[in-house]
Structure 1
Amino acid sequence: MSSGRMPSLRVWREADAIPEIEHAWLFDHLLPIAGELDGPILEGWTLLSALAAGTRRLRLGVLVTSNRFRPPAMLAKMATTVDIVSGGRLDLGIGVGSRPSHPLARREYEAHGLPFHDTAHAVSALAEACTVIRRLWTADAPFDFHGEQVRLTGAFGNPKPIQRPHPPILIGGRSAATLRVVAEHADLWNIPGGDLDDIVRRSALLDRYCAEIGRDPASITRSLHLPVSYHRPDATREAIGEALDAGFRHVVLGLPTPYPPGVARWVADELVTPSL
């Protein structure tokens, strides 16, 4: 289950009490990317920490963190904090950042004084970020890191996350370059729903990249984000069934606002249980 601009603690707590709903997610934007462009947006990771403190069972994360927004060592510290606050329920969702093809891709970066590098730079930075974050979560002593995009001196993470050896890493993306990073670093791979044939081809390409580096493709859980229609649950159920048949065992259902009363129970009864 994922929620967008202004998620409700009420909805997350309701979902937390429903075993059929396994995980909940926020998104990572600093300005709206659709709808009213001057609408309200909260920062994803500070909000996630608050929702982690207000729930007890759900796995949770940000789908997906823009690696362009925060230095990776700072993100590792933030993620450790959320994992501790949640009692070990974090999945670290991360990706390159906004697609250059999106008409509003650069808007939130320019508004916050953040650089928007080209795709090659961003993909390289994502790979280095995953390396650094994992080392900060697991290293027993301070270390230096001198990459092309990331440079650290005396880096050390203390305390460590609760989860051992570290929280699962979910990487979101669809480009061939990003899929190579997924093959090397991810425990889960997420892609937005849409053209299922293309998604299946992307999954097969990930299999190939895993084989090239000697990794079992089955060690990466396939995750799909699907939009929910409150008025056409049959269409959403059909999309869930197609995703499961295609090998995507981790399904994230995007809930549009405003949230109807009892929406988490509705998701479980109308979408999740019929698909099991």
Structure 2
Amino acid sequence: MTAPTQVGYDDILRVWHEADAIPEIEHAWLFDHLMPIFGDPDGPAYEGWTLLSALAARTRRLRLGVMVTSNRFRPPALLAKIATTVDIVSGGRLDFGIGVGSRPDPPEAWREYPAHGLPFHPPAQAVESLAEACTVIKRLWTEPEPFDFHGRHHHLTGAFGNPRPVQRPHPPVLIGGRSSATLRVVAEHADLWNIPGGDMADVVRRSALLDRYCVDIGRDPASIVRSIHLPVDVDRPGVTREAIGEALDAGFRHVVLGLPVPYPDGIAQWAADELIRPSL
């Protein structure tokens, strides 16, 4: 993951070009914040989906996505259209990441809502909205005829998606989050589930809770790939390697390495040599 903030476009493009040529690196990610959440609060922050489309056009092999899209930022029908466009530009390499959106704490992750005229709904309402959004987006990707949708949070009349994504029936859906309410949405809608690393005991408990929710609705828990985001410490690669080992032992086969800014030359090759290959 290259957070698109406190750096320039050329910096991110350089890292993605390098990673695109390294077979051990399978996927690359941006995040979805409209203002910085670390570093200089007045520093640059790029819009994730616009940047992702540009990077999709400049890479050839990497699977790619936004980890994770804030469902609070864009209406689901518009987001479905945006994601379809990126899947087409990339030749079918999109992993569609989505989540509830930032919590009201810390302040750095909340201020972007009033700063952009966006409402910040209570958590329960936001999770319900996410579930409806996942339903709407999948229908727009797959249904052959226009449809109406009237939920509690989203209302569409004559909704129809054309063109369709390259990937059929649709791009893989990755949902990020750790709350029990969000995990119920994961059980129903996700192909991959992502959680931030850190407290591995809690990560394991959340994974077990997801297993239970899957069983409750008759879904095989193994059908959801477990994904984890781990911050990279370039000064202490051994710490990151240890975290990768713990994640793999816990059944998390989709490991996202969060690179710190600024991105030095050769950072992708360094990550492959120091972190990925020793863990294979």
- CA distance in structure 2 between the partners assigned to 1:100 and 1:257 by the alignment: 24
The answer for the alignment partner of 2:3 in structure 1 is 3
- CA distance in structure 2 between the partners assigned to 1:120 and 1:156 by the alignment: 28
- Are 1:224 and 2:228 matched, yes or no? yes
- CA distance in structure 2 between the partners assigned to 1:155 and 1:94 by the alignment: 20
The answer for the alignment partner of 1:167 in structure 2 is 171
- CA distance in structure 1 between the partners assigned to 2:274 and 2:170 by the alignment: 34
TM-aligned CA deviation for residue 35 of structure 1 = 1.3
**Alpha carbon RMSD of aligned pairs, Å?**
0.8
Aligned runs of 1:76-95 on 2, under 5 Å? 76-95=80-99
TM-aligned CA deviation for residue 127 of structure 1 = 0.1
Runs of 4+ in 1 over 6 A off after TM superposition: none
Deviations 1:239-269, CA, capped at 9 Å, x for gaps? 0000000000000000011111111111111
- Are 1:208 and 2:208 matched, yes or no? no
Contact 2:27 2:64 in 1 (8 A): yes
TM-aligned CA deviation for residue 125 of structure 1 = 0.3
Q: Which amino acid aligns with 2:54?
A: A
Aligned runs of 1:103-182 on 2, under 5 Å? 103-182=107-186
Tell me the secondary structure at the aligned position of residue 3 of structure 1.
coil
- Are 1:258 and 2:262 matched, yes or no? yes
TM-aligned CA deviation for residue 103 of structure 1 = 2.6
The answer for the alignment partner of 1:187 in structure 2 is 191
Deviations 1:178-204, CA, capped at 9 Å, x for gaps? 000000000000000110000000000
The answer for the alignment partner of 1:62 in structure 2 is 66
Deviations 1:146-189, CA, capped at 9 Å, x for gaps? 00001000000000000011000000000000000000000000
**TM-score when normalising by structure 1:** 0.99
- CA distance in structure 2 between the partners assigned to 1:95 and 1:3 by the alignment: 17
- Segments of 5+ residues of structure 2 without an aligned counterpart are none
The 10-residue stretch of structure 1 (256-265 or 75-84) with the greater mean CA deviation from structure 2: 256-265
Contact 1:161 1:167 in 2 (8 A): yes
**TM-score when normalising by structure 2:** 0.97
Q: Which amino acid aligns with 2:249?
A: D
Contact 2:30 2:48 in 1 (8 A): yes
**Is the alpha carbon distance of 1:262 and 1:105 closer, same or farther for their aligned partners in structure 2, counting shifts above 3 Å?**
closer
1:240 is matched with which residue: 241, 244, 260?
244
Contact 1:65 1:93 in 2 (8 A): yes
Q: Which amino acid aligns with 1:105?
A: A
The answer for the alignment partner of 1:269 in structure 2 is 273
- Segments of 5+ residues of structure 1 without an aligned counterpart are none
Deviations 1:63-101, CA, capped at 9 Å, x for gaps? 000000000000000000000000000000000000123
TM-aligned CA deviation for residue 138 of structure 1 = 0.2
- CA distance in structure 2 between the partners assigned to 1:224 and 1:2 by the alignment: 15
Identity %: 78
The 10-residue stretch of structure 1 (7-16 or 131-140) with the greater mean CA deviation from structure 2: 7-16
TM-aligned CA deviation for residue 218 of structure 1 = 0.2
- CA distance in structure 2 between the partners assigned to 1:65 and 1:224 by the alignment: 16
Count residues with an aligned counterpart. 276
Tell me the secondary structure at the aligned position of residue 197 of structure 1.
helix
